[in-house]
Amino acid sequence: MLFFFLGLFSITQATEELYDYPIIGIDLGTTYSSVCIFRDDKVEIIPNEYGFKSTPTVVAFNGTFLIGEEAKEQGIINPQNTFYDIKRLTGRTYLDPNVNRVKKGLPFTIMQENDKICIKVSQPRNKSNKIFNIDYIQAKVLTKLKNIASSYLGVPVKNAVISIPIGFNDIQKQATIDIAEIAGLKVVRLISEPNAAVIAYGRDYVTEKTNIFVFDFGGGTLDIAATIVTKQKFEEIDNSSEMNLGGEDFDFNVVKYLVDQIYNSTGMNLTDHKKANQALKIEAQKAKETLSSQEIAHIRISNLIEGYDFQYNLTREKFEEVNQDLFDRVISTINSTFIVSETQIEDIDEVILVGGSSRIPKVQEIVEKRFVHSKIIKDRIQDELVCIGAAILANSLTKQLEKQYRFVEIKRTAISYGVETDKEDMNIIIPRLSRYPLVLSRFYTTIEDYQTGISINIFQGESEFTEYNEKIGNFKLSGIQKATKGVPEIEITFALNQNGMLTATAFDLNTKSSSQLAIQIKNKKRLTQEDIDNLRKENEQEEKLDREKIQTISKLKKYHMQFLNDIKKSKYKYALGESQLYEIKEILNTSSKWLEDNRYKLQTTTQDFQNELQNLKNSLDKILNRQQLRDSNQDL
């Protein structure tokens, strides 16, 4: 144990490493993710293969992996193997109370293996279940975004700036970096989501010094930051975060309400019915979006369960009543931002609403009532604003950039860091809202005579007692001066890097003995470098197999479409009789139905799709050859 001994000094570091172009900006969201690139003096939001600006943060497994739109599309028929909301589990341990809360609302199985959170995939009876680390599943989304960008730019993409919630701790930040490495990406910088949003907004709309309050309410988190903005300088002055509050929670409450309504009217309890709950969740999300502009959302689900069609008219008033607890938490999060801050609400010039959940009318009403003296910017709510800001930051870190395009980003910590003393008090070394990157030190001494070693426990939090804070690391210093208590002088130094990640060092000023702990890589619950390397290789192999299956399915679909178009044109229309055209249409319809029935099934392999394509070609060629032979005989 330690005893606080002497003063405090600080050193601020501001070195900046630059990287080769291109560096992409990524918003890895709870429900949707996007990727951007800065070029030709503007940010381009890179569309996915469907032309959409954002991609669902959803991964499914059906023998191979589906990511994004395709994964979301098959969610109702394969809920137990469709994975979403994984970001809420990032960097957490299985016994974390938040994990237990999150997994209750998910249709797939969350389990623990080797002290790490994993997902169990449900397989057909003749196959053993597969287990995937959650970081590996999240890496699938980043791999998808990387490939979208590489295809769009025509060059391999290796570097990225990734946005994260303000409330992410060191372990969660390192988890994000690990996930990117599995996906084949180097994270050159992490940036908080509100900071990314304010950079994007400030570049386009701010011409003079302005106090901006970012209200970033997305699918999984509510992040808030007050920032002083000029054209090329962004200084965060305060922040707050609610890590378990987002659009998904509104959907969950509505689903729970609808399940209760069904039980009250029919006596059917659908609480544990995965497919029904997945269908209700999709409709709850649509209803939430509808109620942002209308007073009533009409929910209609045919065959919710066998023989039961569900209908319900959800009013905006009822939606607000069902989610009142969440609105109360929004108010509390806003208020908490200003409790210990020198900034007052009256000092805020503009409030930017960011994220899909900011479109909820009640949320906008809450913000307008709290910031009566501020200009509320709600006509520019853009889901990709965070991604745009990440791309602007990425551009400023490239070697090729001209100096005048660089800007200064001054960041502050979202939480305090300290060590535990002999009385289990929290002795803060880096206070909340400290600017970083920085290095801060305090001096300590021993509490027992002739002590030769000390154990140093590191915590984060705001309570004066460590019992109520979060322990994030522990390390030992041995070989200290053998003397009576109070004589040795031990310097403990905390260093926060550009990503806000902590390294702790202990140093005996007399014996020169030292010890160091990099919090982000020493946590036993995290992946080792060997784990990351193995998962990266596995991801590359899986990606190759997935690509082959997807390409075969695509070939089969194109063949269907091409042949259907051909028989409508003169190429076959006049060359074939009615009976032959009917036969071809029947074969194509049968094959199309087979594809629809099998494309998402676990047991359908790439070879099965290849066989179906070849069989289809053979069947159609047989009809065409038969007709050709008949035409030849007639010519004779």
Tell me how far apart the alpha carbons of residues 108 and 132 are, in angstroms, rounded to a whole number. Answer: 12
Two tokens, residue 247 = 């659009």
Contacts of residue 276, Cβ cutoff 8 Å, sequence gap at least 6: 270, 304, 305
Name the active-site residue from 72, 85, 87, 281: 87
Q: Distance of CA 590 to CAs 560, 587, 602, Å?
A: 11, 5, 21
| Active-site residue, 209 included | no
Q: Does residue 158 have an active-site annotation?
A: no
Strands 375-377 and 350-354, bridge-based pairing: parallel
Question: How many angstroms separate the most distant Cα atoms in the chain?
Answer: 117
Q: Are 324 and 331 in contact (CB under 8 A)?
A: no
Q: Does the active-site annotation cover 260?
A: no
Could you tell me how many helices (H) and strands (E) the chain has, helices first? 16, 30
Per the CB < 8 A criterion, the answer to whether 21 and 134 are in contact is no
Catalytic choice (27, 70, 170, 350): 27
* DSSP three-state, residue 34: strand
Number of C-beta neighbours around residue 324 at 10 A = 11
Residue 66 carries which DSSP code? Answer: E
Q: In 3-state terms, what secondary structure has residue 464?
A: coil
Alpha helices in 88-129 (DSSP H): 97-103
The answer to whether the CB of 78 falls within 8 A of the CB of 62 is yes
- The DSSP output letter for 133 is E
User: What phi, psi does 65 have (nearest 5°)?
Assistant: -90, 140
Residues linked to residue 216 through DSSP beta bridges, in sequence order: 223, 354
Which residue of the set 170, 216, 384, 612 is catalytic? 216
Instruction: Compute CA distances 343 → 67, 192, 206, 222, 372, whole Å.
Output: 43, 20, 20, 20, 16
Please report where in the chains the tokens 């680390």 appear, as a residue: 133
- Tokens 């000092």, located at residue: 347
CA–CA distance, 370 with 366 (Å, rounded to integer) = 6
Report the side by side order of strands in the sheet with 408-412.
375-377, 350-354, 210-217, 222-230, 233-242, 408-412, 435-436
Q: Where are the alpha helices (DSSP H) in 371-461?
A: 385-396
Contact 248, 353 (CB under 8 A): no
Q: Which of 85, 181, 193, 384 is catalytic?
A: 193
Torsions phi, psi of 458, nearest 5? -105, 135
Helix (H, G, I), strand (E, B) or coil at 273: coil
In 10 A of CB 519, how many CB atoms? 22
216 is catalytic: yes
Residue 274 CA to residue 261 CA, distance in Å, equals 17
Contact predicate 345/373, CB 8 Å: yes
Positions marked catalytic: 27, 87, 193, 216
